[in-house]
Each structure stands twice: as C-alpha cells, then as structure tokens.
C-alpha cells in the first residue's frame, strides 16, 4: 500500500524533484521508510535519482500495471475498471466473456495474446511489447448503428498516436491505421445485441508499440511506433491516452456522428484513391469517394456506377492494378 502511494506521488511528479521530507510527510512515514521504498521501486526498474534536493523519477519501466495506466487518466467512465493480464488468448474473447455483467467502459489489456484475432478470423500477431487492449462499451444505440463505434475507435486511436508522438496517421477503410503505407494499428469491434438494442460493443485495439520490425513479416507491410520514432514508448501512457480519446470520441458519436465522420474523412488515406474492394460476393476496382452516414464506403466503379460497401477489405492502389498496401 505504502509503496503504491509513493509510486503514485513519484509518477505524478515525474521529472520534478520532490524532497524526502515532503514525501515522508504526505505519506506519513519516516524518511528512512521513504528511502527503503525508493530502493524497492528501483529494483522494479524505476530509474529514480536521489540527491540533496530529494528524489526525481527519470523513467518508469515499460510496465502495463493498472496503477500506471490509471495515473493521470482523465475519463468519466472508460477505464473505471481495468483488468491487466500477462497472457490471454485474445483480449476481445476475454472482454466478450465478461461483457454481459461488466460496467460500461471496462478495459481488458494483456501483455501477450496467444490467439489474437483480426477480422474474419484472421490471426493478429501479439507478442510482448505491443498494446493489446479491448474496451467494453454499452452505448444505447440500435445494433444497426454499431459501425459508428468502429469509426469512433479509429478516430480515437489516430488522435492518440498523433497527439502523443506526432505520428502522421492515416485511416484505411474501414479501420486500419497506417503510417505511410504501413499498418501500425488494427481494430476489431464485436457486438452482442438483442433485437433492437446493442447490449455491448467490444472494441479491440491492437497497436504495434515497442516491436521490432523484424518480428512483422515484410508482406504485411506493417510498422510499429518504436520503428517509426527510433525509441521505445511507455505503453501505459499510450493506453491511458487511447482510453481518453475513446471516451471523447464515443461522446462525440452520441452528439453528432457527422462531426466524427468529418474527422474520419480528414484523416482518411482511402478517400480520393483508387481501391480494390474485396467482399464475400467478389471484388472490383474504383475510386473511393466518401464515407456515408451508415459507415459504408462509397466507391465509384470504373463504369461510373456508385457502389456502397458496408463490409469487406480494401486495397489501396497506386495506379490501375498496382497495390500500394495489401493491407488485409
């Protein structure tokens, strides 16, 4: 308990000096006890400098503890309950298991997923170093509007990556996040519904955070935050920011889907491009023109006919027939 409190105070004053006396007073323990706790935090990997001025936290280990994710989290409901696992099959599977009785905004995170899933049962590689997270949302909307949760999640994740690291992220329809032409984040939203009411949506967000590019097969055209920045990032901070952005986007979704749609469109790497669309019923090429009110992609076929695609895969083409991102 004491160590948790000290850790909280130290993290909250990250980068600033805090005197041993201040810490001792605020925690109601002796200065010797503060020293002992600092030593044990150091043993956990916290880089804490000590001098006559007191203590200063230089860096925290890249741990995904509940405390670290929660520290400084400014949300009303997203992340009120957070479960962190060291290994699960899939955070979406775990979130769906608990969703019926979980409160709105509950979060499941795992260091590793042994059977991470993409859309259409495709595998999602999830080694240590990534951020594999699922958020249970319970908006009071009809199941037909569940696509808007997807749009909200992709805008939220893009805002987080841009806001924290200045990465120029483009959204590839329906909800892949690309840096350049490389995929850095994938989103899988699954729902549970009754006839006319969404019971829950499980928004699974997979971000390649601190992953070596070598881990990701070249044909996937994938990248990671650490590969883009040339340094590792604190995944707990990233998780917190994504949660804040998801809450903000879900509030916007409730107020005006149109605003969210506009933001999605501004960040889109798909609109205005030649694309190949692959659906269960076949494939065709054309130019992506707009994201419609129902979340579908309006594609102008080469013969001029408009086609609205509600579900499927989209391949960005550079010129006729040439693939710029296999993307699926």
Helix, strand or coil for residue 289?
strand
CB of 290 to ligand BT5, least distance (A): 21
Task: Convert residues 105-134 into a mask of x (bound to ligand BT5 by CB under 6 A) and - (unbound).
Answer: --------x--xxxxx-x-xx------xxx
Q: What is the CA radius of gyration of the chain?
A: 22
Residues between 234 and 253 with contacts to ligand BT5, criterion CB under 6 A? none
Cα(6)–Cα(121) distance, rounded to whole angstroms? 44
DSSP H or E segment with residue 12: helix 2-12
Please count the residues of the chain: 328
Residue 235, sorted as left (phi over 0), alpha (psi -120 to 50) or beta, turns out to be alpha
Q: C-alpha 54: how far from its chain's center? A: 36
Tokens of 118: 């993409």
Select 10 or 158, whichever has its Cβ closest to ligand BT5: 158
Select 132 or 234, whichever has its Cβ closest to ligand BT5: 132
Select 35 or 220, whichever has its Cβ closest to ligand BT5: 220
Residues between 129 and 188 with contacts to ligand BT5, criterion CB under 6 A? 132-134, 176, 183, 186-188
Select 92 or 296, whichever has its Cβ closest to ligand BT5: 92
- Range in contact with ligand BT5 (rule: CB under 6 A) among 24-32, 38-46, 64-72, 201-209: 201-209
Cα(48)–Cα(19) distance, rounded to whole angstroms? 13
Cα(213)–Cα(150) distance, rounded to whole angstroms? 27
Select 18 or 325, whichever has its Cβ closest to ligand BT5: 325
Residues between 8 and 27 with contacts to ligand BT5, criterion CB under 6 A? none
Can residue 82 be called a binding residue for ligand BT5 (CB under 6 A)? no
174: preceding bond cis by omega (within 30 degrees): yes
Cα(325)–Cα(328) distance, rounded to whole angstroms? 8
CB of 186 to ligand BT5, least distance (A): 2
- Please give the residue ranges that form the binding site for ligand BT5 (CB under 6 A): 90-92, 113, 116-120, 122, 124-125, 132-134, 176, 183, 186-188, 204-206, 208, 216, 220, 222, 328
């Amino acid at each position: 308990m004491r160590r948790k409190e000290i850790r909280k105070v130290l993290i909250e004053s990250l980068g600033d000096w805090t005197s041993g006396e201040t810490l001792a007073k605020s925690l109601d323990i002796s200065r010797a006890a503060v020293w002992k706790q600092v030593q044990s935090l150091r043993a956990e990997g916290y880089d804490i400098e000590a001098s006559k001025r007191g203590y200063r936290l230089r860096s925290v280990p890249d741990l995904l503890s509940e405390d670290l994710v929660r520290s400084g989290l400014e949300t009303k409901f997203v992340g009120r309950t957070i479960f962190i696992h060291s290994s699960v099959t899939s955070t979406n599977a775990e979130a769906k298991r608990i969703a019926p009785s979980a409160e709105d905004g509950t979060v499941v995170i795992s260091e590793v997923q042994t059977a991470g899933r993409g859309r259409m049962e495709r595998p999602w590689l999830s080694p240590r170093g990534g951020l594999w997270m699922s958020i249970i949302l319970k908006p009071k909307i009809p199941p037909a509007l569940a696509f808007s949760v997807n749009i909200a999640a992709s805008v939220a994740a893009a805002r987080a990556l841009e806001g924290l690291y200045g990465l120029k992220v483009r959204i590839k329809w329906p909800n892949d996040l690309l840096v350049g032409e490389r995929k850095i984040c994938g989103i899988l939203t699954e729902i549970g519904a009754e006839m006319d009411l969404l019971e829950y949506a499980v928004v699974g967000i997979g971000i390649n955070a601190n992953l070596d590019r070598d881990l990701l097969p070249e044909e996937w055209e994938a990248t990671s935050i650490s590969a883009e920045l040339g340094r590792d990032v604190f995944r707990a901070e990233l998780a917190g920011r994504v949660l804040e952005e998801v809450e903000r986007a879900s509030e916007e979704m409730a107020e005006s889907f149109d605003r969210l749609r506009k933001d999605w469109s501004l960040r889109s790497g798909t609109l205005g491009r030649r694309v190949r669309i692959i659906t269960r019923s076949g494939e065709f090429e054309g130019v992506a023109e707009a994201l419609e009110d129902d979340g579908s992609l309006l594609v102008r076929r080469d013969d001029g006919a408009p086609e609205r695609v509600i579900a499927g895969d989209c391949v960005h083409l550079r010129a006729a027939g040439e693939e710029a991102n296999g993307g699926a």
